[in-house]
Structure 1
Amino acid sequence: MSLEGAVVCAGRLYCDLIFTGVPRLPSMGTEIYASGLGLHAGGGAFITAAHFGALGRHAALAATLPGAPFDTVVAGDLAHAGLNLILCRAAPDGNDPQITVVLTGTDDRAFVTRRAGPALPRLTAGDLRGSRHMHIGELATLVECPWLIDAARGAGLTLSLDCAWDETLDAKGAAPLIAQVDVFLPNAVEAQRLVAAGLPPPWSSLDVIKRGAEGASAGHGDTAMAAPAIAVTPVDTTGAGDAFNAGFLNAWLDGAGVEASLRQGNDRAARAISGRGGFNPAATEAAT
């Protein structure tokens, strides 16, 4: 399948085990009970790519496909999202499955994640020929695969990057990588952690901060802009930031201004949290 005009979303692909209606976070030696459970394909790259596809844009995923026992669940979601998988490769034999356990309460959520093996296959500029933009799903992927920048730029692509904070990362060491992308999209907590690590903004050419119920803001040179969130009753906030990324970038790639792109990002996030899972076709496609 050709990549002509595609947005390539690069990053780790997980199976998300999402527990909803969690009354509190568990502590060691205690047990809590959730009111709901869902199994879905996950990871920022997949969720953003799926929302791009729901918006009608050609979206390709660059990731390592999971092995057993969650490969069937993930494969079904990939097929439903209709993504171009030409840049994906199967996990090496013997790799542990990549899993994220999501605990979702009334106001926020927490994650426990197991990474295993390479995030994605090695790509060159030639592999990306014909595509238009690359979105990297998490900073950890860019740190693991810094060659993504040269590959994307060699193919003439613009670049965006989510943060997806990892406390094991050397934030200062990652700063030169962040500075090379066109759009950087941390959430408010991740932005605060970057500042606390001694990295005040600006981080990239265009910094977009996702603020949950407070909406989103952007800094571009000396100009600051903001857009309020859309009021909805959340079912599951997993992947809301990744959905925002797709809405914002879809408008930005079409030449919309930053404020209009912020509104489109907030709209996509609001639709995403109306259903369970980072990408829920029933909650997103019907409202597109």
Structure 2
Amino acid sequence: MTARAHKPGVLCAGRVYADLLFYDMPRLPSLGTEVFADGLQICPGGGAFITAAYLSALGRQAELATGLSFGPLSGVMIEQISAAGVGTEMCKLTTDTGPQLTVAMTGGDDRAFLTKRAGPSALLPDAGQVGGMGHLHVGELHTLAEHPELIGFARETGMSISSDCGWEDTLPADAAALIAQLDLFLPSATEMQRLQAAGLSATPAPLTVVKQGGDGAMAVARGEGQVQVPAEPRDVVDATGAGDAFNAGFLDAWLGGASLRDCLHAGNACGGAAIAAVGGIGGAKLIAPLPEPQQARY
């Protein structure tokens, strides 16, 4: 038996994009101007996939449950998802919605995204497909609002459940009620400030972990106070996916029964690896060798 076989797996739901990642830019573009980038990558992206890829690099089984809509980029995207060790047996390849694509631009420690959504953000697998899965992670609050049935599915199948927040111009009307049903909520500091400005409490979930970038992260458990852990200083190569990588490190430790302080250290380590390499999962190779590619099936 491998170490991976002894760990409960994580099912990740949320949109998966074909990322056109422009990097080595002098600045982010503004209207009426043109900027030239020295680097370009074409790779899978989206919070659900990035978290799954880092979980796989940490030796934990990770599966996606979503629609994959990449248009003419489908072949290379599916190949890269498989090469990252992420399972796709609970995915569906969709061809009638057009490509789901993000143009990501990174300059220094800042970045910007332009995205087209297409296809379903999550798929509800059959209960019999999730054997060995101990946790459901939702890549963004918008997916949870589109598919609130994910919460009941997790409970019925014995999985704990977490969600990132993700950026949205408009918060879901039922955001507070959705977050309250999670076991773990993982917003960034900026997202948390916005939620509080909208009237949510500082502890919207039983366990709330606030990612603070270069300042580290803070965990707040209801009735147990808060724990703060600073991040180790790192030079920023590309901040794309750092929060999603943090999620993987924190979840892997949390599911293993580690203390909140150790979970925060693990999250910070993955986030630090992410910013040290180009691309959403570029830092995964800095944590551990990726597993052998597995066959993608639909």
Q: TM-score range by the shorter chain?
A: over 0.9
Shift of 1:287: 10
2:14 maps to a residue whose letter is: G
Question: 19-28 vs 134-143, which deviates more?
Answer: 19-28
Report what 2:191 is aligned to: 190
In 2, Cα distance between equivalents of 1:39 and 1:55? 24
In 1, Cα distance between equivalents of 2:289 and 2:134? 27
Shift of 1:124: 4.6
In 1, Cα distance between equivalents of 2:51 and 2:228? 21
In 2, Cα distance between equivalents of 1:131 and 1:105? 38
1:243 maps to a residue whose letter is: A
* Alignment check: 8 A CA contact 2:109 2:238 kept: no
Report what 2:273 is aligned to: 271
1:139-194 CA distances to partner (integer Å, 9 max, x unpaired)? 01101111100111100110110001211333x42210111111100001111111
Does residue 104 of structure 2 align to residue 84 of structure 1? no
Report what 2:15 is aligned to: 12
Shift of 1:127: 3.7
Pick the aligned partner of 1:135 from 131, 137, 140: 137
Does residue 66 of structure 2 align to residue 63 of structure 1? yes
TM-score after normalising by structure 1:
0.93
Report what 1:283 is aligned to: 286
Shift of 1:286: 4.9
In 1, Cα distance between equivalents of 2:177 and 2:126? 21
Shift of 1:80: 1.1
In 2, Cα distance between equivalents of 1:284 and 1:66? 29
* Alignment check: 8 A CA contact 1:225 1:258 kept: yes
In 2, Cα distance between equivalents of 1:267 and 1:28? 36
Pick the aligned partner of 1:47 from 46, 50, 56: 50
Report what 1:220 is aligned to: 221
In 2, Cα distance between equivalents of 1:191 and 1:177? 15
In 1, Cα distance between equivalents of 2:194 and 2:129? 35
In 1, Cα distance between equivalents of 2:131 and 2:175? 27
In 2, Cα distance between equivalents of 1:202 and 1:185? 11
Report what 1:179 is aligned to: 180
* Alignment check: 8 A CA contact 1:275 1:282 kept: no
Percent identity, aligned pairs only, is 48
Report what 2:261 is aligned to: 259
Q: What is the count of residue pairs matched by the alignment?
A: 284
What are the residue-to-residue correspondences of 1:156-175 with 2, within 5 Å? Answer: 156-170=158-172, 172-175=173-176
Pick the aligned partner of 1:99 from 101, 104, 107: 101
1:236 maps to a residue whose letter is: D
Q: Which runs of 5+ in 2 are unaligned?
A: 292-298
Pick the aligned partner of 2:29 from 9, 19, 26: 26
Higher relative contact order (CA 8 A, sep 6+): 2
Pick the aligned partner of 1:114 from 116, 128, 141: 116
Query: SS at 2:152's partner residue?
Result: helix
